[in-house]
Amino acid sequence: MRRTLLGLLLALGIACSLGASSSGHDVAYSTTASGGVEKSAVVCSSGCNFTEMSGYNDSAATRYIMLFDAATLPANGAIPNQFYLVAANMGFGILGAAERFRTGMVVACSTTAKTLTITATNDCFFHVLAVQ
């Protein structure tokens, strides 16, 4: 029942807190879901663990989905913690193995690999789950 409720809340884009974790502390889940295609999104404005992400590249060109350990979108030229190539007009799904983002977590859609070049238009849809 708890998993079904969590799945429903996450699908609706609602952050929630579930009972006690194995450590006896509340576990807060943060989810970010695009309202439509966009260039970037702040997933967490403070430390969190990346668990999974899915989305879609709505562009006719290849895009690079980048994750940054930051509370706000960094400037072009910034080096991401992770980046993933997504072919034109394709969906993607990524499991994050609970990587820790200490400052916060920002996801961005870039036209170049290895460093951020934010897209000129809203090209990407994101759905990101993190544990705070």
pLDDT in tens, 30-81: 777 888 899 999 999 999 999 999 999 999 999 999 999 999 999 999 999 9
Are 101 and 49 in contact, with CB atoms under 8 Å apart? yes
SS3 category, 10:
helix
Locate tokens 């029942």: which residue?
1
For residue 22, pLDDT beyond 80:
no
Give Cα separations from 40 to 23, 26, 83 (angstroms). 33, 29, 13
For residue 2, pLDDT beyond 90:
no
Q: 73-125, pLDDT tens digit by residue?
A: 999 999 999 999 999 999 999 987 778 999 999 999 999 999 999 999 999 99
Distance from C-alpha of 69 to C-alpha of 105, rounded to nearest angstrom: 5
pTM recorded for the entire structure = 0.78
Are 131 and 47 in contact, with CB atoms under 8 Å apart? no
Domain ranges of the chain: 31-131
